[in-house]
């Protein structure tokens, strides 16, 4: 049968190269004109355990997977036993015939192929991909081009292995090319990294924690090409203090972490607030509390990010829903941190961080905020000069004849510690005055996205990676979909416009308590119901459809 949407599951043991195989399959589908999304599932084990990836390709943008798949690529028997229930009608199982079997499956003699080519065991994934290409009726030339672009080493040998499996398999379906217009494919971490680079970041600090570890790997691999320095400090506390030191010196930096690491950063977050030192934090969300599910997803750090750090101080928080938004808003998060001298928190979850998406390279928000610099001829320099906007002009050391003081205590305009009540109040007002300017600038940048049936009086409220599933379900069920991308300062005007005419709405979130619903309730909006998922896995299209139908019935 011919198909214009296709889902592929590939599974095996840790060490079988499941993630890289999934990325190659995604690149093949992207080469054929499909818009793709890949979900990667793996346990928190150094060795062993079952890994699998689901790659979905469609004619339209996709950001979620389905319950059923068209192909299962099984590198071992366990994959068949665990996932055969996912195989849709007319679906095909392709397996390593040396160690796995299933009635009607395409069985690939991977052991013999590897022996013939004197190839290492890990190249078995190239064999299973070769067999998939033949079973899907995909031209071999596509495989050659994708392998040369996707594989960093031993490409010729991988291609020979893949060709032998291709030659041994038979056609079961016809996955057709749908367009010659191809969209690049990348992970959210890679897109965040590109956005940070475009924002001028030249230093990156991280004590590795999933799901942001691969962001550090991305920067380390590109360090020479983009002239960025990557430092793995001894702790999260050291990392954020190093980043603040860079800010004082005028060097743009970023730091990556997850919930447990962010816990350790909260005192220094307050230092950023009162010292008005620009700071960019990539806070990748995973299931908690504590270590929780270290390699699975959640959207449970929103309220933490909104309230982290004692005392009041302005901050910027953005939650991208895919790679296109991740790139653009990471650039803007950096720019806003430096213009308004506040901490910026980029708040993706594991699905965005580690998931693979087609990215729209032409999408951009035409906004390029710049820091306000002090006039070099003006003396004396006051680091915390009072201004109508609350933004004090910046100057960085070394600057001949200047004392550039920053201070974690309450301080006056020169940065000198004070406990005077009037100065305390004045400086607090100065910091908070920045919120008005930031909020006004954000209102012109589509901080709230609306999709689905924009005239419907019923709506889904969501955020982050649930964008993909909610967009599809909203169209299917004729509902409006409202998604704040910027979460702090909350874009009240844009949100009110998005809610115009809505009589009932249901908050779709990957946490236990409906944290976004709790946030919007502060502005007078009460959800009609909650559709929550907190098992560490994302909503599938079918699951969310059923859950929403149940909620609105």
Instruction: Return the HEC string of 84-122.
Output: HHHEEEEEEEEEECCCCCCCCCEEECHHHHHHHHCCCHH
For position 1, what pLDDT does the model report? Answer: 47
CA separation (Å) from 399 to 237, 250, 404?
Answer: 29, 12, 8
Residues of the chain with pLDDT under 70: 1-3
Determine the pLDDT at residue 46: 77
Q: Give the pLDDT confidence score for residue 3 in this predicted structure.
A: 60
Give the max Cα distance, the chain.
83
- Determine the 3-state secondary structure of 46 from DSSP: coil
Residue 379: CB atoms within 10 Å: 10
- Please state, as a whole number, how many other Cβ atoms lie within 10 Å of the Cβ of residue 435: 18
DSSP H helices, 309-403, are 323-340, 350-354
Contact call for residues 72 and 107 (beta carbons, < 8 A)? no
For residue 198, what are its two tokens? Answer: 């475009």
**Which secondary structure element, helix H or strand E, spans residue 145, and what is its range?**
helix 140-150
Inter-residue contact 53 to 18 (CB < 8 Å): yes
Contact status, residue 57 vs residue 6, Cβ threshold 8 Å: yes
Q: State whether the Cα torsion 131-133-139-145 is positive or negative.
A: negative
CB-count burial class (<10 Å; 0-12, 13-18, 19+) for 388:
exposed
Secondary structure (3-state) at 69: strand
C-alpha dist (Å) from residue 217 to 148, 213, 214, 256, 258: 22, 7, 5, 11, 15
The DSSP H or E segment spanning 165 is helix 155-168
- Residues whose CB falls within 8 Å of the CB of residue 500, separated by 6 or more in sequence, listed in order: none
The residue among 266, 240, 237 whose CA lies nearest residue 253 is 240
Q: Is 383 helix (H, G, I), strand (E, B) or coil?
A: coil
Q: What domains can you pick out in the chain, each with its CATH number?
A: 2-175 (3.40.920.10), 186-358 (3.40.50.970), 448-552 (3.40.50.920)
Q: State the Cα angle at 255 between 254 and 258, rounded to 5°.
A: 145
Judge whether 286 and 349 are in contact, CB under 8 Å.
yes
Percent of all residues in the chain with a pLDDT value above 90, rounded to a whole number: 91
Q: Considering only CA atoms, which of 118, 111, 79 is closest in space to residue 97? A: 111
Of 259, 345, 252, 250, which is closest to residue 298 (Cα–Cα)? 259
pTM value is: 0.96
**Buried/exposed code over 287-296 (b: 16+ C-beta within 10 A; e: otherwise):** bbeeebbbbb
What per-residue confidence (pLDDT) applies to 13? 92
């Amino acid at each position: 049968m011919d198909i214009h949407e296709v889902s592929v599951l590939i599974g095996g043991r840790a060490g079988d190269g499941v993630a890289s195989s999934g990325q190659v399959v995604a690149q093949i589908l992207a080469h054929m004109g499909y818009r793709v999304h890949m979900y990667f599932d793996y346990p928190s084990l150094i060795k062993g355990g079952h890994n699998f990836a689901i790659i979905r390709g469609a004619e339209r943008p996709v950001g979620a997977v389905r319950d059923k798949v068209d192909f299962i690529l099984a590198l071992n028997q366990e994959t068949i036993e665990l996932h055969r229930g996912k195989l849709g009608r007319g679906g095909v199982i392709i397996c390593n015939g040396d160690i796995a079997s299933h009635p009607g499956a395409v069985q690939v003699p991977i052991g013999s192929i590897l022996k013939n080519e004197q190839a290492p065991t890990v190249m078995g994934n190239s064999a299973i991909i070769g067999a998939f290409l033949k079973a899907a009726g995909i031209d071999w030339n596509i495989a050659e081009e994708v392998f040369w672009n996707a594989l960093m080493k031993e490409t010729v040998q991988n291609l020979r292995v893949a060709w032998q499996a291709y030659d041994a398999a038979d056609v079961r379906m016809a996955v057709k090319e749908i367009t010659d217009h191809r969209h690049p494919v990348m992970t959210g971490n890679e897109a965040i990294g590109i956005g940070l680079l475009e924002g001028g970041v030249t230093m990156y600090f991280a004590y590795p924690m999933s799901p942001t570890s691969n962001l550090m790997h991305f920067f380390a691999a590109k360090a020479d090409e983009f002239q960025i320095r990557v430092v793995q400090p001894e702790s999260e506390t050291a990392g954020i203090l190093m980043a603040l030191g860079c800010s004082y010196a005028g060097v743009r930096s970023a730091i990556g972490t997850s919930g447990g690491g962010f816990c350790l950063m909260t005192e220094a977050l307050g230092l950023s607030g009162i010292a008005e030192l620009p700071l960019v934090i990539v806070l990748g969300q995973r299931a908690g509390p504590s270590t929780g599910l270290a390699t699975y997803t959640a959207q449970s750090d929103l309220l933490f990010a909104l309230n982290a750090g004692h005392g009041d101080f302005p901050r910027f928080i953005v939650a991208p829903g895919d790679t296109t938004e991740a790139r653009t808003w990471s650039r803007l998060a950096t720019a806003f941190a430096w213009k308004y001298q506040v901490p910026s928190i980029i708040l993706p979850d594991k699905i965005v961080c580690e998931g693979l998406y087609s990215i729209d390279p032409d999408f951009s928000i035409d906004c390029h905020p710049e820091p306000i610099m002090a006039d070099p001829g003006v003396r004396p320099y006051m680091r915390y000069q009072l201004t109508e906007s609350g933004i004090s002009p910046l100057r960085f050391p070394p600057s001949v004849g200047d004392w550039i003081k920053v201070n974690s205590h309450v301080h006056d305009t020169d940065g000198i510690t004070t406990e005077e009540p009037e100065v305390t109040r004045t400086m607090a007002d100065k910091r908070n005055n920045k919120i008005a300017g930031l909020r006004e600038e954000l209102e012109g940048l589509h901080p709230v996205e609306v999709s689905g049936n924009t005239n419907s009086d019923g709506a889904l409220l969501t955020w982050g990676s649930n964008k993909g599933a909610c967009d599809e379900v909203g169209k299917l069920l004729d509902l409006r979909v409202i998604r704040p991308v910027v979460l702090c300062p909350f874009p009240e005007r844009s949100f009110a416009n998005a809610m115009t005419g809505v009589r009932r709405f249901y908050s779709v979130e990957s946490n236990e308590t409906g944290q976004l619903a709790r946030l919007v309730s502060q502005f007078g909006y009460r959800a009609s119901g909650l559709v929550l998922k907190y098992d560490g896995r994302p909503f599938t299209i079918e699951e969310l459809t059923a859950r929403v139908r149940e909620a609105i019935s």
